[in-house]
Every structure is written in C-alpha cells, then in structure tokens.
Homo-oligomer: A and B are copies of this chain.
Amino acid sequence: MGITLKELAQSLGLSPTTVSRALNGYPEVNEDTRWRVMEAARKLNYRPNTRAKSLATGRAQAIGHVIPISDQHEIVNPVFADFIAGAGESYARAGYDMTISVVADDEEAQVYRDLVGRGSVDGLIVHAPRQMDPRIPLLRDLGIPFLVHGRSSGVNQPYSWLDINNRRGFARATEFLLDLGHRRIGFVNGIEVMDFAIRRRSGYLDALAGRGVRADPALMVSAEMTETNGYRAARRMLALPDPPTAFLVSSMLLAIGVRHALWDAGLHMGRDVSVITHDDDLSYLKNGDAVPLFTATRSSIREAGRQSADMLLDLVSNATEPPLTRLLEVDLIIGESTGPAPQRQKDSA
C-alpha cells in the first residue's frame, strides 16, 4: 500500500507531529515547511490511512445506508440507485465514504445496532419508512445522527427528515383530473404500509371528498410498483361495469403497465382514458423526450439524495443541532396522457 506518515516525516527530517499539522492546515507551522511537506506528500503519493485517522479522531468519516429487502416481495426499490447516486455526490464532495448494507427487514434492527456499536458510521440514512417506523426510536436511543428519507406518521417525537409533499401532489393531480371532468379515477398505489403511499392515498381521497365525489374501493389498488402490477390493476378496473376514465398512478413503471393495459383494451391514452403518474425523474426512466409523455407529479429522487446527504452531514458536524426537516413540493408536469373526460355513454343506449 502507500507510504506512512512516519516515513514521510522521516524523509523530510521532520517529526510526525509537524507533518500532520502541515497537511491538516494548522497554523503553528511555517509556511515554507508546509509547502515542503505538501510537495513531498504529493510526490511520494502519500494518503493518510482512513482507519488510523478515524480511530484517532473518533470520526468514521462515513455514512451508512441500510436498504431493506422485504422478505415476501424480494424487491429492490428501483429508486435506490438514483438516490444513492445523488447522495454519493454530496459525500464525495465532503470527503465521506458511503457504506451500504442490504438486509432483510426483519434483521434491520440488528444491523443498525451493529453499525453504531462498531462505530463504522457517523450517521445513517433511513430508507423507505413505514407508519410508526420502529427504526426512528431505535436510532434515537442509539444516539447517532440520522435522517429519514420520507416521514413516518405516528411518530410523535421530532426527528430529521426530507420528504416530498406527497399528499399535496396527489391531491393536485386528482383535482386536475376532476377539473377535466373525470369522476371515476382509478388509483394505483404502492403498497400502503409505506408511509409515502399512505400520504398519497389521503391526497387522493381528500381531493375526491372536496368535490363530493364518492371514493370507490373497486378503483383503488395497492401493490408493489412494477410494470406487471400496473398492467393487472388497470386491466381489472377496465373490466368493471363502470370503468374509470382516468388513472392516478404512483410510479412510472406502474404507469407503463397501465399504458399497456389501455393498449390491450384498444383505448387511446390521453383521449379515451387519462393517466397521471408520479415521476421520480430517474435517469434511466425519463418521462418522454422533449415533451413529456405522461402528465406527472415530478420530483427528482437524485436531488433528494443530494439534499438528504447534505442535511445529514450538517447534523453530523453540529451534534447539538435540533432536527432538520425539509418538505419539497412536487411539480405538476402536463404531458400528453391527459385530456377531458369523454362524454358519458348512457348504458341505456
């Protein structure tokens, strides 16, 4: 591996102390000496050993992400890649490492305890929070800075989080459809143990209630967000006696499935049936090209990753700081998948 600090010091005829100070920008070292040291360090390709450094300083210089895999579904949430890419940018900028643990959700508590107890991270990001998520009190007890991506309704103690305004976004989207004359709006949501899905549903329900439209349980589906599930949900709803004229959907993949089902049914998206989806702005799943394909509530998950990381780093360096929270609004992007509700065909025809 590389050269060590002691060796570097020796080669310069200096003490390790001075070399360390020179490199870390302490004032009590002659500028000429500092220059010599930095030159030598560069030339000899010196890099401080991370483990030694963090042992000495007590800071791990690393942030942990625990990504849960639910046993039943065995699904890896596709947004992780982009979120992590965003967070990674922030960490790199700050000189932090990112360590990731993939873990079945029944072992999660154990993993958190381990990470903290063994001191391998200075802070943690909590992914995919559920209602009254037990991880939040756990991490609070463990006394480590953490930030939740999303929120957990039912937790009354304060904690740090970054979330998007799912409720408002989905309420607006629903109202948009109502304004276009739609009354039967199919709702294809993620699994409703996830907090975000619960909030989206209440946005949908509130908007309907606000206009006095009765919510129909037959038009509401909650499932893992895959193309197949979107397809099946839409197919089933379209087969109802009084099928929906519009769909509100929780992810692009679901929406692609819905589109597929419309196609199978010989329906034209945007004319016969409208679709609004949430769009995480994933790098590999863009919503159309110059002109957006789907009308969508959009919020970049990558940007969320960046900002979450920045907030957490802030918490880590200012231990005394009170919890930070940030609520990002979502944009409503008008695409080609929505249009006025078609004239109601009287069944009595």
Contact = CB atoms under 8 A, between A and B. Distances in A.
Nearest to A75: B283
A226 B226 CA distance: 16
Contact of A80 (B81, B120, B285): B81
A284 B102 contact: no
A341 interface: no
A239 interface: no
B100 A285 contact: no
Given A77-B284, A98-B99, A259-B260, 14 more contacts: A1-B116, A1-B119, A47-B113, A47-B118, A51-B60, A76-B283, A76-B302, A88-B102, A97-B120, A99-B100, A100-B100, A224-B284, A232-B289, A256-B256
B99 A62 contact: yes
A288 B74 contact: no
Contacts of A225: 284
Interface string A47-66: 11111101100001010000
A10 interface: no
A30 interface: no
A320 to B, nearest CB: 17
Interface residues of A, number: 63
A281 to B, nearest CB: 11
Contact of A92 (B85, B92, B102): B102
A69 interface: yes
Interface in A63-87: 67, 69, 73-78, 80-82, 84-85
